[in-house]
Amino acid sequence: MTKADPSAPARAAALSRKTKETDISVSVDLDGTGASTISTGVGFFDHMLDQLARHSLIDMTVTAKGDLHIDQHHTVEDCGIALGQALRQALGDRAGVTRYADVLLPMDETLTRVAVDVSGRPFLVFRTEFSREKIGGFDTDLVREFFQAFVMNAGLTVHVETLYGVNAHHVAESCFKGLARALRAAVEVDPRQKGAVPSTKGSLAG
C-alpha cells in the first residue's frame, strides 16, 4: 500500500509503502542540493543511494525496514518502487523539463554510458556485467533490480551500458552516478520551454 503526503511542495513528493516484506518511507525534492538521509539496513545500497542523491542534486530521504533475514532483494527492489513513485509524483505533468539527457561516467578503469528520457513510458535497457556476484555482502544482481523497479515506477526510459570495467564496485557506482548525472539534466527546468510539455503530442503522461 502506498500513501502520498498531500502537503508536499511543488516538484517534491513524499510517500510511504508498507507490505508484509518491507516498510519504506521516501521523499524527493527535484530542486534540492543533493542532501540525503538514507537508512535501508544494506550498507552498500545506502552508499549508492547517497551517490544518486548527491550527483543528481535531488534531495532524498529513504528509510526502509525489510526482511533482511531472508535476503536484500525485497528491500532494494521496494526502495526502487517507492523512489520511482515519488519521482513520478514530483514531476507532475512534466511540463517545462529538459526531458532528454545522457552522460559518459568514468570511474577509474570503468566507463558507463547512461541515457534518460523523462518519457512517461517506462523502459530499461541494462547492458552491464559484474566480475563477481557480491560486493561485500551486496548481491550485484540487485543493481539491475533497483534500476528496473525505479524506472518502471518513475515512468522513465533509461539505457545503461558499461563500455568497460573490471572492479565490480566501480561498475556499480558508475551506473548509479551515471543515472544521477543524466537524471539531473533531464528533470532540470528548461527556461526556453516556458512551461510547455516537451512533446509534439502535448503530453508525457505515458
Cα distance from N-terminal residue to C-terminal residue, the chain: 22
Phi, psi of 136 (to 5 degrees): 60, -120
Into which CATH architecture does domain 2-193 fall?
2-Layer Sandwich (3.30)
Residues of the chain with pLDDT > 70: what percent? Answer: 90
Question: Quick count: other Cβ atoms within 10 Å of Cβ 203?
Answer: 12
Closest listed residue to residue 156, CA positions, set 92, 84, 86, 103: 84
Catalogue the E-assigned strands of the chain: 2-4, 12-18, 22-29, 36-39, 59-66, 100-107, 110-117, 123-127, 134-135, 138-139, 157-164
Chain-centroid distance of CA 111 in Å reads: 19
CA distance 28 to 59: 5
pLDDT tens digit string along 85-130?
A: 999 999 998 888 999 999 999 999 999 999 999 988 999 999 999 9
Q: Which pLDDT belongs to residue 10?
A: 81
Q: Tell me the pLDDT band of 190, cut-offs 50, 70 and 90.
A: confident
Helix (H, G, I), strand (E, B) or coil at 205: coil
Provide DSSP, 172-206.
HHHHHHHHHHHHHHHHSB-GGGTT--SSTTS----
CB 156 within 8 A of CB 119: yes
List the grid coordinates of 129.
Answer: 556485467
